[in-house]
Structure formats: structure tokens, C-alpha cells
Amino acid sequence: LPEGAVVGTTSLRRRMQILAARPDLKIKNLRGNVNTRLRKLKEGEYDAIILASAGINRLGLQDEVRYFTPISTTLMIPAMGQAALGIESVDDAEVLEMLSVLRDDEAEIETTVERDFVTVLQGGCQVPIGVNARLGADDSLQVRAIVGLPDGSELIREKLVASRNDYKAMGKELADIMIEAGAVKLLKRAEEIALKEIL
């Protein structure tokens, strides 16, 4: 993107990471459904917008997008539980047995670590916080996390690698490392900034 390009996203987490990498860019809130967002891009309101490719694919809008580039989770750490699905059901043994074939043990481990991390930091919707847990082929588990100010001027990034067997402690352990580095204070400031922008 050229210097000073306007990028559309409503996510404080994405905004923080984009501006940390490219402070010259202008971030503008992007609201509406996928079709509305694409229309705003075509009308020139934005130079680029951030959308989930799953939504584009599900709606069959691939031809509506002139240029598409996936952003790796290495470059932009996603939100907790991103792309994970949960199933809630009645407490019925037969129903639970039928649903058991849909269970993904690896996804459960990864999302448990991510959820534990966010729970310890008491992160909510109004703070820029990203966490991504990934199991490796060698039974390792890597967790990367980021918190910071919405303008990307201050960030704390950390990574933890351990055995898959240690997953129940990893989210809390990484959160404690980040708290020691000042994450709670940084998130409090980020929340205050975000609330001022809403008002």
C-alpha cells in the first residue's frame, strides 16, 4: 500500500498491529455487512479493507475482490478462538454421543490455552489483545500473544513453547509473563482510549 493509504477495519487488535507495522497508514472504522464493506471499498472510501476470507467465500463474492492477500497469523495475531466453532447441546447422553464425532481435540487444546490467557488478563471486546496457540507436528505447543495501544505505539509481544501435555498451564503462564511486562496497565490505557473514541 502507498504511504498514507486508508485501511478499513473496526478491530482495535487489527488496528494496533497494522499501525505498529505501518504507522503511516490511516485506519478508518469499517461498518456494515460484507456487501456494504465491499461497496465502500469500490467507491473509494478506503484503499484497502480487512475482511475474513471465510465470509467472502461463503457468500461467493470472490469475483468482487480485485486483489486479495491472506495475512498470516505470524504477521497479525488473531483474536482468541478465531475460526473455532463451539457446540452447545442439552445434557442428553445420546445427543452428546452423536456430537462427539465433531469434537476436535487439537482445537480444544488450542482454544483452551487462548481462553485461559484472555481470562487471566481480563481482556474484553474493547481492548486490543491477540493470542494464537498452535500445536506442532512434534507435539509441541506454541502460544504467541500481543497487547498494546490502539495506535500501535506501545506493544508487548511474547511467545511460549512447551509440550502439548502442558497446555492446561500455558495460557496462565504466558499471561503472567505479560502481566510482569506491564500488560494490565497497558490494556487499561488501551481501554480508556477506546472508550473515549466511542463517546
Residues 91-137 pLDDT 10s: 888 998 998 899 899 999 999 999 999 999 987 777 899 999 999 99
C-alpha cell at 124: 474484553
Residue 174 CB neighbour total at 10 angstroms: 26
Report the pLDDT value the prediction gives residue 86, as an integer from 0 to 100.
84
Q: Specify the pTM.
A: 0.88
Residues 132-176 pLDDT 10s: 999 999 999 999 999 999 999 999 999 999 999 999 999 999 999
Domains of the chain: 6-64 (3.40.190.10), 93-198 (3.30.160.40)
Which residues sit opposite 160 in a β-bridge? Answer: 143
* Interacting residues of 20 by C-beta distance below 8 A, sequence separation 6+: 148, 152, 153, 155
Residues 35-58 pLDDT 10s: 899 999 999 999 999 988 888 888
Helix (H, G, I), strand (E, B) or coil at 188: helix
Q: Where are the beta strands (DSSP E) in 90-169?
A: 129-135, 140-148, 155-163
* Interacting residues of 172 by C-beta distance below 8 A, sequence separation 6+: 116, 117, 120
Indicate the pLDDT class of residue 199, thresholds 50, 70 and 90: low
Sheet holding 140-148, edge to edge: 129-135, 140-148, 155-163
